[in-house]
Amino acid sequence: MKKQTNIILSLLNKISDDGEITAEEVNNLRNYLLNEDGTYNINREIADRLFDLLNAAKNKQVVDDSFRSLFIDAICAHLLNDKSSTGVLDDKEVDWLVGKIENNLEIDDTVFALIQELKAKSYNYFPEKLDSAIILQRLRRILDQFSNSEADNKCKGEVEKSITSLNKFMERRKKVSIDEDCVTILFSIKKKLIQNRLLGKNLEKKETLEYKFAKLFYDIVSAFVLYDEHSPYNVDKEEAKWLMERINQKATADSIDKALLNQLKNKSMGFPELLAKARFDICTTEVRTGVVNVLVKEQEGPQKETEKLLDDYLAESFGCVDELKLKAELLFDLKNLTKRTDFKEGAKEEDIEYCIQKKFVDQVTEYITGEESQSPNEIDKKEEDWLKERLAVSKSRYYQCDEELLRRLKKCSVNFPKHLEECLSRLVMKRIVRNLNDEKKKFDIADVCKQIESAFFDEDREFKIDSREAAEFIFKIKDIIYKKDEEKCDDKLKDLFIEVVSKYLLEDQQSLGRIDQVEEEWLLAKIQSNGEQDRYDEALLDELEERSINPPCVLHRTERHKSKIGR
């Protein structure tokens, strides 16, 4: 036997030193390896040298296909036809084979085919650590292809071929044991694919590299996280933390990360809040990016896709803390990107801006007064402060949807805080000014007065907003209408103008019935702002002279100003 072994080893050395492996050399080697009964005569020493020859084959110019078949047959016979464990892989054989796989990173597809043959021929279960070793070796080989190749079509083809082969291996295994090294390398491969721009978003098309890699990514990471002994079919806190460290290594998570988290959520019996929040953040970023592309970059193509993305995002319950609030904040941000100021006027269902503003009103209302809110049908102090802060961001612009939101909240809640009432009044004031300044829009003075009264006064005819702010606004309205169409300045507007300004000057608690110095200076500035007094100003001064305790001072300074204008 030893003599026969030496002859075989000598022949293997000769083939190894040669520049090629020919069909003749393979046939000669096979004859020495076969017994008279057609079985292979392979010991461990010969098996080791066969692996060495397989590694040496990658540097040979010619390797006949028959060598691959001989290698697989010989190693299968060595592992399965031994007397101590016929037809099965024992622990020592598994350790030996794992060592060969782990120590030979350049092993070609022949080893992979060997493993498939062993699976088909062995009687016992296939050892899990052998599965893990095979997957690790294949992943290392894929990663190594990036180190040795440019990001060209050849590199992409080799990577795609390796990924397809590994997917087939995974499909044949109902349950695979995966160690941490496999998943770490897999994340590195994904990073390389992204860096080399080999991954797009075609995750639905089975023929694409994106789909093939995504499938491999889900299967391997899911197996590592869900099929462990410590928390089977559960994602525990440590696994969630470990996974987040790898997802957060990038500036932004990609669509494959999102799909992975979706898969884990659907398959696991427990899904930690940490991953729920990560999944929510990824989807939020995706929605925000999609809307920005449509609104700011004006990409018309993805408009319908973006609307569907937004619909799905708002409809889904992600299971993370403060979800309703975070969705409402996103809608506030998206609303502030829109250019539409009128909420419903000329709106169409397919209008993306109208769609966003409508969802903004619905979502914020749901967060503050909905059944799942912290205080259903009521606006608590935290919600009030949050809303005031968010509305203040867009205070330089008027959005009718802001006004619609406050009106909706006022209708839905059992309480409507004073500060929000003031916000609503200011929005109405902005709308009135905007409409009056619009040359294309006609206005009805009676309707304007009705809107002003609604914005300024409560049921007891008390101010809803600061009296000076109301007085500033009514002066502004009066001046706009005077310049636009003096004939429309009727008695209704005059009476309202006098009432508002008189309330500010005469009914404040600091100088009740009197016009103090600050008020006097303010009044003069307002009257002088247009260079002359109009009939509303004169009517106001007459009213103040009659009602105030100190009219002479005011009138004296006003008259001096009038005389200057006259001169």
Q: How confident is the model at residue 349 (pLDDT cuts 50, 70, 90)?
A: low
Residue 358 token pair: 């409508």
Q: How confident is the model at residue 567 (pLDDT cuts 50, 70, 90)?
A: very low
Per-residue CA distances from 172 to 115, 116, 131, 168, 175 (Å)? 12, 9, 11, 7, 9
Residue 135 token pair: 């997957």
Closest CA to 244 of 272, 218, 214: 272
Q: What is the pLDDT of residue 148?
A: 59
Please state the rounded mean pLDDT for residues 333-342: 86
Q: What is the pLDDT of residue 563?
A: 45
Please state the rounded mean pLDDT for residues 68-84: 89
Q: What is the pLDDT of residue 348?
A: 63
**Pairwise CA distance, residues 101 & 71, whole Å:** 15
Percent of the chain with pLDDT over 70: 88
Q: How confident is the model at residue 205 (pLDDT cuts 50, 70, 90)?
A: confident
Phi-psi region of 124 (alpha: psi -120 to 50; beta: other; left: phi over 0): beta
Lowest mean pLDDT among 292-296, 314-318, 378-382: 292-296
Contact between 321 and 276 (Cβ < 8 Å): no
Q: How confident is the model at residue 560 (pLDDT cuts 50, 70, 90)?
A: very low
Lowest mean pLDDT among 46-55, 248-257, 496-505: 248-257
Residue 82 token pair: 């031994």
Q: Which backbone phi and psi does 102 adopt, to 5 degrees?
A: -70, -25
Please state the rounded mean pLDDT for residues 140-167: 76
Q: What is the pLDDT of residue 555?
A: 53
Question: Residue 547 class from Cβ within 10 Å (0-12 exposed, 13-18 middle, 19+ buried)?
Answer: middle
Q: Residue 562: is its pLDDT beyond 60?
A: no
**Pairwise CA distance, residues 322 & 320, whole Å:** 7
**Pairwise CA distance, residues 278 & 321, whole Å:** 11
Q: Residue 315: is its pLDDT beyond 70?
A: yes
Q: Residue 81: is its pLDDT beyond 80?
A: yes
Per-residue CA distances from 287 to 23, 262, 306 (Å)? 60, 16, 7
- Strand partners of residue 457: 463
Q: How confident is the model at residue 553 (pLDDT cuts 50, 70, 90)?
A: low
Q: How confident is the model at residue 165 (pLDDT cuts 50, 70, 90)?
A: confident
List all residues 6 or more positions away from 237 whose beta carbon is below 8 Å from its beta carbon: 272, 274
Check residues 21 and 59 and name the one with the higher pLDDT: 21
**Pairwise CA distance, residues 256 & 378, whole Å:** 41
Q: Residue 3: is its pLDDT beyond 80?
A: no
**Pairwise CA distance, residues 114 & 355, whole Å:** 58
Q: Which backbone phi and psi does 439 adopt, to 5 degrees?
A: -65, -25
**Pairwise CA distance, residues 322 & 277, whole Å:** 10
Sign of the torsion formed by the C-alpha atoms of 201, 205, 208 and 210: positive
Q: What is the pLDDT of residues 422-431, one digit of tens each?
A: 999 999 998 9
**Pairwise CA distance, residues 56 & 17, whole Å:** 9
- Strand partners of residue 40: 34
What is the DSSP annotation of 340-362?
Answer: ---SSTT--TT-HHHHHHHHHHH
Please state the rounded mean pLDDT for residues 256-271: 88
Q: Residue 17: is its pLDDT beyond 60?
A: yes
**Pairwise CA distance, residues 33 & 46, whole Å:** 9
Q: Which backbone phi and psi does 160 adopt, to 5 degrees?
A: -65, -40
Cα three-residue angle 112-115-120, rounded to 5 degrees:
130
Closest CA to 100 of 166, 48, 28: 48
- Give the chain's mean pLDDT: 83
**Pairwise CA distance, residues 84 & 293, whole Å:** 67
Q: What is the pLDDT of residue 530?
A: 73
Check residues 120 and 522 and name the one with the higher pLDDT: 522
Residue 314 token pair: 């708002």
**Pairwise CA distance, residues 354 & 393, whole Å:** 20
Contact between 57 and 108 (Cβ < 8 Å): yes
Please state the rounded mean pLDDT for residues 309-329: 92
Closest CA to 334 of 359, 316, 297, 313: 359
Q: How confident is the model at residue 474 (pLDDT cuts 50, 70, 90)?
A: very high
Q: Residue 173: is its pLDDT beyond 70?
A: no
